[in-house]
Structure 1
Amino acid sequence: MGMEIQILDWLQKLHTPVLDKIMCLITRLGDAGILWILLAAVLLLIPKTRKGGLILAGALVVDALLCNVILKPLVARIRPYDVNTAVQLLVSKPVDYSFPSGHTAASFASVVALFMAGERKLWKPALVLAVLIAFSRLYLYVHYPTDVLGGLILGLIAGYLGSRLVLWLMAKRENCRAAA
């Protein structure tokens, strides 16, 4: 944990008033996965992108279960600001555990889901935003680097599993319709 605190402390040297505002805004985009949930809802409303919306929703459900229901309580890692209490937070203190980063996990689950759904125009900007959200969690001192790395890996896995699950269910539904 010592080296991770050193990395976070080094990132504190990058702070400027403008960058602080930008990072706070970027991190808010990932709060409760709301941006990704809204994107899934919009995709579900448009018949042409409904499949992508289902895949994205499936990935987010798998991510929420793995990240928030299983891993965070199981690992129960305290946040870096609780270790280094001298840091002034720019955002309100998260109330859950630190590992893995839920913002990062949901963001990367969404990127994988959009890629798996063939949403070519969406997955690349989503990837850029996911990287920015992940970095913002370090910049804002609310996650350790390994929390973000764990969130990234978990997001990739959740995105893949959620995508495969939805595609499997869709194929099963089609087979039932064809048999009827």
Structure 2
Amino acid sequence: MFLFIRKLDNFIISRLTFRSNRRFLDKIMIFSSYLGNGGAVWLLISAFLIAYEPYRIAGISVLLSLIVSSIVGEGIIKHYVKRIRPFKANSSINILITKPLSYSFPSGHTFSSFAAANMLHLYFNNLGIIFFILATMIAISRVYLCVHYTTDIIAGFILGITLSQILFTLINYIFIYCT
């Protein structure tokens, strides 16, 4: 099973490395990836929500999801799994962004983006699709730019959704039963 997954990951990366006349798409993917750097777009949304009292809890929840996803993903899982990135596994891959220094699994951009997007969806159901589209663009950009394998993205998605559901439940429990 793992051999099949590895072959699928490598197949997808090999198809993405043939970049001929895709400059517009390259720019979109670089920009999408940039939005996820350090959770930038999610931090901006969180700060906006925290600044407006009726949405303060939602903003704090998004911020908390970013902090916990970074600790779990970047601080724990990546150092346990130690999966090298596609461009390091294949030196013929030329990437279009600054080479990330950390490990590949799971995608931190995807983990934090889906944790934040789902948290926002849980608070603002009617706007959820916008947040999920943004998180999906960030996730796809990471594979397109050859800094992650597809399975890194899938794991980041699952972890992000799961983490945000757990945090949302805990936050609501604290505010309903402890205040």
**TM-score, structure 2 normalization:** 0.90
Query: Which residue, out of 133, 149, 156, partners 1:151?
Result: 156
CA shift for structure 1 position 10: 1.0
Query: Which residue, out of 109, 117, 120, partners 2:115?
Result: 109
Counterpart residue number, 1:37: 43
Contact residue 62 and residue 162 of structure 1 kept, 8 A = no
- Alpha-carbon displacement from aligned partner over 1:127-150 (angstroms, at most 9, x marks no partner): 001111111001000001110000
Contact residue 62 and residue 161 of structure 1 kept, 8 A = no
- Alpha-carbon displacement from aligned partner over 1:7-41 (angstroms, at most 9, x marks no partner): 11112346501111110001000001121112111
CA shift for structure 1 position 172: 4.2
Contact residue 24 and residue 91 of structure 1 kept, 8 A = yes
Counterpart residue number, 2:3: none
Across the aligned residues of Structure 1 and Structure 2, the Cα RMSD in angstroms comes to 1.5
Task: Give the Cα–Cα distance (whole angstroms) in 2 for the partners of residues 64 and 9 of structure 1.
Answer: 29
Give structure 2 stretches of 5+ with no counterpart.
1-5
Task: Give the Cα–Cα distance (whole angstroms) in 2 for the partners of residues 49 and 123 of structure 1.
Answer: 15
Distance change >3 Å, CA 89–CA 14, structure 1 → 2 = closer
Give structure 1 stretches of 5+ with no counterpart.
175-180
- Counterpart residue type for residue 38 of structure 1: L
Counterpart residue number, 1:2: 7
Task: Give the Cα–Cα distance (whole angstroms) in 2 for the partners of residues 154 and 120 of structure 1.
Answer: 20
Task: Give the Cα–Cα distance (whole angstroms) in 1 for the partners of residues 136 and 88 of structure 2.
Answer: 25
Counterpart residue number, 1:178: none
Query: Which structure 1 residue ranges, 4+ long, deviate > 6 Å from structure 2?
Result: none
Alignment of 1:8-157 (within 5 A): 8-13=13-18, 16-117=22-123, 119-157=124-162
Contact residue 121 and residue 131 of structure 2 kept, 8 A = no
Percent identity of paired positions between Structure 1 and Structure 2: 35
**TM-score, structure 1 normalization:** 0.90
Q: Which range is displaced more, 57-66 or 133-142? A: 57-66
